Amino acid sequence: MNTYKKPYVIAEIGCNHKGDIEIAKELIKVAKIFCNVDAVKFQKRHNKELLTEEQYNKPHPNPVNSYGNTYGEHREFLEFDVNQHKALKEFCESIDITYSTSVWDLTSAKEITSIHPEFIKIPSACNNNMAMLNWLCENYKGEIHISTGMTTKTEIEDLVNLFKKYSRNKDLVLYNCTSGYPVPFEDVCLLDINLLIDKYKNDVKHIGFSGHHLGIAVDVAAYTLGANIVERHYTLDRTWKGTDHAASLEPMGLRKLSRDLNAVYKALSFKNQDILPIEQVQRNKLKNQKI
């Protein structure tokens, strides 16, 4: 019997659509038809709430990747409004793939809650926004997924306790994550998945893995350790302008990741009898009985 949960793969589109709704739809379509993933995820920011005036008005730290003269203009260029997100959700439903979004501030959380996605993600950068987390626990009924990059073990414990206070911990998914783009293998720290499972497997719904590394080998190991939800950044072209493309998988990489995770899921079981039927044929043919 296979005791592992079926892998669930999320293609993190984020802002890799370059602010173009048609590119966003193409990313969704390719993720569903070619890559065979379970869900796509975008991002929602209310930039004037999220950024200080100084942050909003200063130049992008890497101008070659900027879509505006200031960081605020860059972020606004890449932002879809709530009606566009609703249209993306409807497009996902039309081709039978799950839509979700990361929310970076309370206003965005309220807007995305209004379109009722199956789950909402809290990025590592915002998992200390208690006003947003309290509001979501009280008002949003779906799953809440939270990444734990750049987060102390005490802060993770406080997050779980917050969800327990609202009796929402069984709607909580915790992701092992290292915040970096890309993350070198020695900083992925996969064994932290074991720590999350040992401490919280009976308290939360799932343990996941959000990877910003290169390649796809690490994700299979994360799944084998028990992280049944795997999220990877995804783009149509890693050379496109923007900060996330280089740390993203292109369609073939995402397709292979989904293939490999499902192959490993099928393989992670015990033999249900000493000699399997496939072996009996070979035993009859190959095993020397004249001993």
What are the tens digits of pLDDT across the range 79-109?
A: 999 999 999 999 999 999 999 999 999 999 9
Domain covering 8-286: architecture: Alpha-Beta Barrel (3.20)
C-beta of residue 104 within 8 angstroms of C-beta of residue 123? yes
Per the structure block, which two tokens stand in for 161?
Answer: 């306790």
Cα-to-chain-centroid distance, residue 64: 27
pLDDT tens for each residue of 51-85? 989 999 998 888 888 898 898 888 898 999 999 99
- Tally the C-alpha atoms within 13 A of residue 36's C-alpha that lie toward its C-beta: 11
Helix/strand number for the chain, H first, E second: 12, 8
Evaluate if residue 2 carries a pLDDT over 70: no
- Per-residue pLDDT at 10 exceeds 70: yes
216-234 mean pLDDT: 97
User: Residue 289's pLDDT is what?
Assistant: 64
Residue-wise pLDDT tens digits, 19-36:
999 999 999 999 999 999
Question: Averaged over 221-229, what is the pLDDT?
Answer: 98
Which is it for strands 119-122 and 8-14: parallel, antiparallel or unpaired? unpaired
β strands within the chain, DSSP E: 8-14, 39-44, 98-103, 119-122, 143-147, 172-177, 206-211, 229-233
Q: Where residue 117 falls among pLDDT bands split at 50, 70, 90?
A: very high
- CA within 13 Å, CB half, 50: 19
Q: What is the mean pLDDT of the chain?
A: 94
- What is the structure's pLDDT at 62? 82
What are the residue boundaries of the structural domains of the chain, listed by start?
Answer: 8-286
Statement: residue 5 has pLDDT above 70: yes
- Please choose, from the candidates 217, 181, 206, 227, the residue with its C-alpha nearest in 3D space to the C-alpha of residue 12: 181
Q: Which of 66, 61, 70 is nearest to 15 (CA)?
A: 66
pTM: 0.94
Q: What is the pLDDT of residues 226-271, one digit of tens each?
A: 999 999 999 998 878 677 777 899 999 999 999 999 999 999 999 9
User: Nearest Cα to 261, choosing from 37, 29, 34, 11?
Assistant: 37
What tens digit of pLDDT does each residue of 156-198 get?
999 999 999 999 999 999 999 999 888 999 999 999 999 999 9
Give per-residue pLDDT as tens, 264-291.
Answer: 999 999 999 999 999 999 988 898 766 5
| Residue 115 confidence (pLDDT) | 98
